[in-house]
A and B are shown apart, each in its own frame.
Chain A
Amino acid sequence: MDYGLAEEQLMFKTAVRDFLEAEWSAETMREAWDDRNDYPLELYRKMGDLGWLGLLIPEQYGGMGLGWVEAAILFEESGRVLLKGPLLSTAILGTQALLLLGTEEQKREMLPKIAAGDIILAWAYGEPEVSYDLDLINTKATLIDNQFHINGQKLFVSNVRWADYVMTIAKVEGGTENTGGLGIFLVDTKSTGFSYELMYGIDEDELAEVNYESVVVAKKDLIGWINNTGHILDIVGKSKLAYSAEMVGGTERALEIAIDYCKTRRQFGRFIGSFQSIQHKLATVDMLLERSRWLAYYAAYLCSQGINSTAEINMAYLAANEAYRLASAEGIQVHGGHGCMRLYDIGRYFKRAKALQLKLEPSHVTKDRIAQILEEKGAKYGVQIY
């Protein structure tokens, strides 16, 4: 047993923190939040130069060939500073889709570009009325004359405005033995028939309604093969791990902000941090933080070992949601009226906490996934229940 990070991992953590401090200061973050047109693409490319976008990409495809613990570190640090950008959709979802399903040619073509930050990918999954169940996806890819024609609508796609391709999950129809199966299609955002409407999340993230009207996609731009519901679920599951780590980082920072404020604000002749009612709040938050941190790193460790960890990832995700929400809400509470104002960062953490969760799924859906695993696999599941 060893709960500690290895020396290289600690160095990596420090490097990420130093880099983000320099490139994504609190002022930069506030500007990017307040001005929706501002997007840290420059910073994103620098992360590519440092190799971090290729963290999970094997060396033969231009990556660093590291594991999920390192990925968790990267996301934890970016969560601390409310980093915006296409890190998750490209470096996690894109990379995983290609690694799990892509052809050798696709890997050679795309992965080095992802690692270098030369390409940005968006991920289009949910639809109206279809939030979490892949079997019900309505967007269709129809095979006509050796090309796919995509028709349908996707909701709440992040990063579309900056993306080169939108990885679109669609049901395949016509002229193939795989009719009814799902494929991930690389849809060029410059394609005819591709359009979107932008909306804004409570965390100022751009979320698009994306429409496909007979958008033509060449066969080579189908990632891998058709009929891979299980793999797509696995890819989304992995993104949940990155979200969990991001939320752990956000929780940690929200708690620090609250503690700092408690030590400077005086009421009733004392620093408010000296009151038990405040201390108990923060102690509870810290307990939830530790809980979510170890669940997240445990799940990351299991992923790195190639062990099926769907249940553990979902548990980490639930715990991180709860910790982040409470940490930021109590952070506002500690700030009093000031905490309710945009002048202070703590409110941004509060919004981010809920937005990060709702980008994927509400907690009852996550709990249901855990219960399903218990029901189906019982004690025989991977690492045993006890």
Chain B
Amino acid sequence: MEFRFTKEQEEWRREVRDFFAREAPPELVRRLMIEKKCTNPLSLDLYMKMSEKGWFKKTWPQDYGGEGKSRWHDTILTEEMGYCVIPRGTWNLYANTVQFLGNSLIAGGTEEQKRRWLPLIANGEFRTSNGITEPNAGSDVSIIETTALEETTAVEKDDYFVVNGAKIFNQAHNAEYITAIVRTDPSLPKRRGMSVLLINLKSPGVAVDPSLVAISGWLRSEVFFQDVHVPKANLLGEKNGGWDYLIGEYLPIERTSVAAADLGELFRILEELIEYSKETRCDGHLLIQIPQIRSMLADMWTELLASRLLIYHTIWKLGKGEDVRQDANMAKLYFSEVNERFCNAAMEIVGRYGQLEILNPYTRWLALGGKVAYLYNHSRVDQIGGGASEILRDQIAVRKLGLSRA
């Protein structure tokens, strides 16, 4: 047992932290948020700067221009994105493109796909967004309605799929591609007839509507496909093997990544809350002197540490090549609920100041720059995105504990 990072990994953390402090200082992000009336500015710029640093290929094998670092490099980077409170759109691009697509290409892509896309992913030119959820298919991915049926044209080399349907709640407005799960064979059982396609969002027949605003202020897109031609070379994994592709590595990585990023952010908020409590007076006491607030802070720290250990456990097992599906489910389930408790407690601690919206032009009284209210508005999202808690509990009960399905 050794519950600590290597010296090199600690140095990597410092490098990342310095970079974000330089490139996305909180004051700049705040100013842009207010100027652009958007809680997620700078996402793309920052992503491109990260690519210039060569960070996206750190964990890839040397054959593909990488440095062969362990998954912990990835984890540390993800945690720091949260800890440095950089615009979350950057994380979204990184998670979908580098963590999900990059890793899965290396693990299971064809040689041609690797040679074609990995260099473009590394330099930031190739960015993809998540394409699982549809308006009518949320927790139940098996009922996706987006179809991709094969058509062969007269010209031999131009084999392609014709895609029709819609994908929702993604970041397509910041990306060139969407990693979409689509139905390729309606005659097979639901989970067997699906495939994963990389669809170019510039293709004729694709419409991106970036008009969905989340209650936390994030912008999300809905993407519509009408007779979109997608080359067969853009098929990821096996044809009709999309389900296994998703549940194999994609979803566990998504779940640990979202948890790690949000965890980093909450650690930062906890640190700032402690400072805030030490210098803020309320009715004659410093907040830190109020027993109920001390009790809340202690709970918050305990729960963050426990979350971190569950998340790290999953990543450790993933690195050993073991099946981590239920570990990832549990880490994400636990953390997402910690997240809500934490944000609620943070609102209780800052009290009246917590009710101010982050985008207020008059900022003098915002607690922690409005971050507490912003995170509170966002605090249910983790219990839904990347696998709703109900689904995760169900899977743990059935697949780990061996209970029968209701």
Q: Is A362 an interface residue (CB 8 A)?
A: yes
Q: Is the CB of A358 within 8 A of B355?
A: yes
Which residue from B140, B169, B365 sits with its C-beta under 8 Å from A267?
B140
Contact of B283 among A133, A197, A204, A340 (CB under 8 A): A133
Q: Is the CB of B347 within 8 A of A342?
A: no
Within 8 A of A (CB), among B121-153: 133, 136-140, 142-143
**Known A126-B352, A130-B283, A136-B284: A341·B347 in contact at CB below 8 Å:** no
Q: Which of A115-123, A186-194, A271-279 contacts B (4 or more CB under 8 A)?
A: A271-279
Which one, A1-9, A10-18, A212-220, A348-356, is touching chain B? Answer: A348-356
- Tell me if B226 is interfacial: C-beta within 8 Å of chain A: no
Report if A287 contacts B (CB, 8 A): no
Whether B362 lies near A340 (C-beta < 8 A) is no
When chains A and B are docked, how far (Å) is the Cα of A233 from the Cα of B359?
33
Tell whether, in the assembled complex, residue B377 and residue A351 are in contact, meaning their CB atoms are under 8 Å apart: yes
Q: Is the CB of B356 within 8 A of A340?
A: no
Q: A209's contact among B168, B364, B376, by CB below 8 Å, is which?
A: B364
Residues of A within 8 A of B136 (CB): 266
Q: Mark B383-404, 1 if CB is under 8 A from A, else 0.
A: 1110011100110000000000
CB atoms of A358 and B212 under 8 A apart = no
Tell me if B138 and A337 are in contact (CB < 8 A): yes
Question: Once the chains bind, are A350 and B365 in contact (CB under 8 Å)?
Answer: no
Q: How far is the CB of B294 from chain A (nearest CB, A)?
A: 11
Picked from B143, B283, B290, B384, the residue with its CB within 8 Å of the CB of A337 is B384
- Determine which residue in B216, B384, B388 has the highest number of CB atoms from chain A within 10 A of its CB, and name it: B384
Q: Check if A199 sits within 8 Å of B362, measured CB to CB.
A: yes
- Whether the pair A156, B352 counts as a contact (CB closer than 8 A) is yes
What size tier do the contact residues of chain B reach? 35 or more
Contact A337 B168 (CB under 8 A): yes
Interface residue A347 (Cβ < 8 Å from any Cβ of B)? yes
Known contacts A202-B356, A277-B394, A362-B351, A131 near B282 by CB under 8 Å: yes
Give residues of chain A (298-341) contacting chain B, Cβ–Cβ below 8 Å: 325, 329, 332-333, 336-341
A248 within 8 A of B: no
Within 8 A of B (CB), among A208-255: 209
**B169-197 at interface with A (beta carbon < 8 Å):** 169
Contacts of B356 in A (CB 8 A): 199-202, 207
Q: CB of B158 within 8 A of chain A?
A: no
Q: Assess whether B215 is in contact with A342, with CB atoms less than 8 Å apart.
A: yes
Contacts of A131 in B (CB 8 A): 282-283, 351-352
Q: Does B262 interact with chain A (Cβ within 8 Å)?
A: no
Count the A residues whose beta carbon is within 8 Å of the partner chain — how many? 56
A367 lies within 8 A of chain B by Cβ: yes
Interchain CB contact under 8 A, B292 and A354: no
Q: Is B208 an interface residue (CB 8 A)?
A: no
**Smallest CB-CB separation from B211: which chain A residue?**
A343
Measured CA separation A133–B283 after assembly (Å): 6
> Could you mark each residue 338-352 of chain B with 1 if its beta carbon is under 8 Å from any beta carbon of chain A, else 0?
001000100111011
Assess whether A341 is in contact with B351, with CB atoms less than 8 Å apart.
Answer: no
Chain B residues in 8 Å Cβ range of A136: 283-284
A350 touches B394 (CB 8 A): no
Q: Which residues of B contact A355 (CB under 8 A)?
A: 355
Q: How many A-B contacts at CB < 8 Å in the complex?
A: 148
Q: Are A201 and B390 in contact, CB atoms less than 8 angstroms apart?
A: no
With A and B bound together, what is the CA distance between A200 and B380 in angstroms?
Answer: 22
B65 to chain A, nearest CB (A): 36
Which residues of A are found within 8 Å of B139, using beta-carbon distances?
267-268, 336
Q: Check A155 for interface membership: any CB of B closer than 8 A.
A: yes
Contact A275 B390 (CB under 8 A): yes
* Residue numbers in A under 8 Å from B292 (CB-CB): 364, 367-368
Pick the contact of A198: B362, B390, B393 (CB < 8 A).
B362
Contact (Cβ within 8 A) A364 B381 = no
B102 at the interface (CB under 8 A from A): no
Contact call B384/A358, Cβ cutoff below 8 A: no
A337 lies within 8 A of B376 (CB): no
Q: Is A263's beta carbon under 8 Å from chain B?
A: no
Judge if B360 is at the interface, Cβ distance under 8 Å.
yes
Any A CB within 8 A of the CB of B406: yes
Within 8 A of B (CB), among A143-191: 155-156
A18 to B289, CA, bound (A): 49
Check B355–A207 contact: CB distance below 8 A.
Answer: yes
Q: Which residue of A lies closest to B214 (CB)?
A: A340
Q: Are A199 and B347 in contact (CB under 8 A)?
A: no
Q: Within 8 Å CB of B390, what residues of A?
A: 275, 277-278, 333
State the CA gap A233–B172 with chains docked (Å): 53
Among A155, A267, A268, A350, the one with the most B-chain Cβ atoms within 10 Å of its Cβ is A267
Most chain B CB within a 10 A radius of its CB, from A337, A350, A365: A337
Among the listed A209, A269, A367, which residue makes an inter-chain contact with B362, where contact means beta carbons less than 8 Å apart? A209
Chain A residues, CB < 8 A from B213: 341-342
A19 contacts B by Cβ under 8 Å: no
A200 touching B360, Cβ below 8 Å:
yes
Chain A residues near B89 (CB-CB < 8 A): none
Q: What is the distance, in angstroms, from B342's C-beta to the closest C-beta of chain A?
A: 14
| Complex-state Cα separation, A110 to B344, whole angstroms | 40
Contact of A341 among B212, B352, B376 (CB under 8 A): B212
- Nearest B residue to A129, CB-CB: B281
Check: A359 CB closer than 8 A to any chain B CB.
yes
B354 at the interface (CB under 8 A from A): yes
Please encode chain A, from 90 to 132, with 1 for each CB lying within 8 Å of some chain B CB and 0 for all others.
0000000000000000000000000000000000001011111
**Chain A minimum-CB-distance residue to B292:** A364
Q: What separation, in Å, do the CA atoms of A16 and B280 have in the docked complex? A: 43
Selected A-B contacts with CB under 8 Å, 30 pairs: A130-B283, A131-B282, A133-B283, A133-B284, A155-B365, A156-B355, A199-B356, A199-B365, A202-B356, A202-B357, A202-B373, A207-B356, A267-B137, A267-B138, A267-B140, A267-B143, A276-B406, A329-B340, A332-B215, A332-B380, A333-B384, A336-B138, A337-B168, A340-B216, A340-B384, A341-B214, A341-B215, A342-B215, A362-B348, A364-B292
Q: Which residues of B contact A (CB under 8 A)?
A: 133, 136-140, 142-143, 168-169, 212-216, 220, 280-284, 290, 292-293, 296, 340, 344, 347-349, 351-352, 354-357, 359-360, 362, 364-365, 373, 376-377, 380-381, 383-385, 388-390, 393-394, 406
Known: A156-B365, A358-B355. 7 other contacts (CB 8 A): A156-B352, A197-B362, A197-B364, A199-B356, A268-B140, A338-B138, A351-B215
A interface, CB within 8 angstroms of B: 126, 128-133, 136, 155-156, 197-205, 207, 209, 266-269, 275-278, 325, 329, 332-333, 336-343, 347-348, 350-351, 354-355, 358-359, 361-365, 367-368
Shortest Cβ-Cβ A-B pairs, 4 listed: A347-B215, A364-B292, A133-B283, A267-B140
